Amino acid sequence: MHFSLVCLAKPVLHGYFRSSCSWRVRIAFALKGIEYDQVPVNLIKDGGQQLTEQYKTLNPMQQVPAVEIDGFTLSQSLAVIQYIDETRPGPCLLPADPKARAQVRMISDLIASGIQPLQNLYVIQKIGAEKVQWAQHFIDRGFQALEPILKQTAGKYCVGDEISMADICLVPQVYNAERFKVDVGQFPTIKRLNQTLLEIEAFRASHPSHQPDTPADLRA
């Protein structure tokens, strides 16, 4: 594999400590052993720093994350994860086997498209007083679908016995579920996988309670 000089520069992650999409990227970087710099983008302060014209040039959707890497910018977490998997050494985040790879993508898309967007900050702010019930409903609905799928695909991790992009998506989503007081205990496979993954250093180090922009009262 050939790397140009631009690849030697550290990637820059523009993100927010509690953003599940930013957390996914942090996990992937940690699993791959990639050093990177962080630029905090506070989604609440100043009306939302992601809404500035300056940040819009990095991510036209005005969401986090945005990742500057290898001389260009990527702004969707799954695209970032797949790019670094294809360009960096280290453990593979998508399996070589086509069936297992499809299962990893299915689980990742279920979370990243079917659950997380419905309870992200922008949507929740539009809902108003019913925001907690709204988030609980869509997380519970998603987990009702995810649990039987994981029962079929899981070994030690979401798909078999190797950590994959599916695991990277799962842990931040369970964290969000717990924030919104969803009873994760009713989903035993999800709960088991999450507990197993949180024992792994890459998941612990990238946790929202350990980031440079984590408020003092939320630090572990």
Residues 79 and 106 in one domain: no
Global pTM value: 0.94
Q: Please write the tens of the pLDDT for every residue from 11-29.
A: 999 999 999 999 999 999 9
CATH number at residue 105: 1.20.1050.10
What is the residue type of 162? E
Indicate if the pLDDT at residue 35 is higher than 80. Answer: yes
Residues 26 and 111 in one domain: no
Q: Evaluate whether residue 216 is within a structural domain.
A: no
Q: Please write the tens of the pLDDT for every residue from 91-142.
A: 999 999 999 999 999 999 999 999 999 988 888 888 888 989 999 999 999 9
Q: Which of 91, 122, 149 is at the close of a domain?
A: 91
Residues 30 and 53 in one domain: yes
How many independent structural domains does the chain possess?
2
Mean pLDDT, all residues of the chain:
94
Which residue range forms the structural domain that includes residue 62?
11-91
Helix (H, G, I), strand (E, B) or coil at 9: coil
Please state whether beta strands 37-40 and 12-15 pair in parallel, antiparallel, or not at all (unpaired): parallel
Give the per-residue pLDDT at 144.
98
Residues 69 and 21 in one domain: yes
Block residue for tokens 């309870």: 119
What are the CA-CA distances from residue 47 to residues 38, 50, 72 (Å)?
A: 21, 9, 27
CATH number at residue 45: 3.40.30.10
